[in-house]
Amino acid sequence: MELKELIERLDRLQAKKKAYSHATGMLYYDSVTGAPKGGAENRGNTLAVLSETVYELSAGEKTGQLLSELIEKSGELSPVTKRAVNELWREYERTKKIPESEYIEYQMLLNEAENVWHSAKINSDFKSFAPYLEKIFNTNIRFAGYFDPTEKPYNVMLDMYERGLNTERCDLFFSQLRKKLVPLIAAVSESSVKPDNLFLKQSYPVWRQRQLSDWLMEFMGLNRNHCAIGETEHPFTIPFDKTDVRITTHYYERDMASSLYSVIHEGGHALYELHTSDELKNTCLGSGVSMGIHESQSRFYENIIGRGRPFCALLLGKLRELFPERMSGVTEDMLYSAVNISMPSLIRIEADELTYSLHVMLRYELEKAVVEGSLTVSELPGAWNDKIKEYLGIDVPDDARGVLQDSHWSGGSIGYFPAYALGSAYGAQMLAKLKESIDVDAQIASGDISPISAWLEDKIWKHGSMFDPAPLFESCCGPFDPTYYTDYLTRKFTELYNL
Ligand SMILES: [Zn+2]
Q: Are both 193 and 306 inside the same structural domain?
A: yes
CA of 297 to the centre of ligand 1 (A): 9
CA of 401 to the centre of ligand 1 (A): 19
Q: Are both 111 and 211 inside the same structural domain?
A: no
pLDDT at residue 393 above 90? no
154, part of any domain: no
Summarised one tens digit per residue, pLDDT across range 72-101 is: 999 999 999 999 999 999 999 998 898 888
Distance CA 60, CA 491 (A): 54
Which pLDDT value is given to residue 474?
A: 96
Distance CA 499, CA 232 (A): 39
Residues with CB under 5 A from ligand 1 (ion): 298
Total domain count for the chain? 2
32, part of any domain: yes
199, part of any domain: yes
* % residues pLDDT > 90 (the chain): 90
**CA torsion 19→22→27→31, rounded to 10°?**
180
CA of 262 to the centre of ligand 1 (A): 9
Q: Are both 119 and 190 inside the same structural domain?
A: no
161, part of any domain: no
- How many C-alpha atoms does 137 have within 13 Å on its Cβ side? 19
Domain final position from 123, 139, 155:
139
Q: Are both 336 and 444 inside the same structural domain?
A: yes
CA of 118 to the centre of ligand 1 (A): 19
Q: Are both 95 and 172 inside the same structural domain?
A: no
148, part of any domain: no
CA of 287 to the centre of ligand 1 (A): 15
CATH of the domain at 202: 1.10.1370.30
159, part of any domain: no
pLDDT at residue 391 above 90? no
Q: Are both 427 and 464 inside the same structural domain?
A: yes
pLDDT at residue 48 above 90? no
Contact 27, 46 (CB under 8 A): yes
Domain final position from 90, 121, 139:
139
Summarised one tens digit per residue, pLDDT across range 255-289 is: 999 999 999 999 999 999 999 999 999 999 999 99
Q: Are both 183 and 69 inside the same structural domain?
A: no
Q: Are both 218 and 134 inside the same structural domain?
A: no
Q: Are both 453 and 341 inside the same structural domain?
A: yes
The total number of residues written for the chain in this structure: 499
Q: Look up the domain containing 179 and give its range.
A: 167-496
Q: Specify the higher pLDDT residue, 111 or 437.
A: 437
* Closest to 285 (Cα-Cα) out of 74, 467, 488, 109: 467
Active-site annotation holder among 114, 162, 266, 302: 266
Domain final position from 121, 139, 157:
139
**pLDDT band at 186; cut points 50, 70, 90:** confident
Based on the residue annotation, tell me whether 91 is a catalytic residue of this protein.
Answer: no
Q: Are both 19 and 63 inside the same structural domain?
A: yes
Q: Are both 227 and 126 inside the same structural domain?
A: no
CA of 298 to the centre of ligand 1 (A): 6
CA of 269 to the centre of ligand 1 (A): 7
Which pLDDT value is given to residue 188?
A: 93
Which pLDDT value is given to residue 1?
A: 81
Q: Are both 108 and 231 inside the same structural domain?
A: no
Summarised one tens digit per residue, pLDDT across range 126-183 is: 999 999 999 999 999 999 999 999 999 999 999 999 999 999 999 999 999 989 998 8
360, part of any domain: yes
CA of 405 to the centre of ligand 1 (A): 15
227, part of any domain: yes
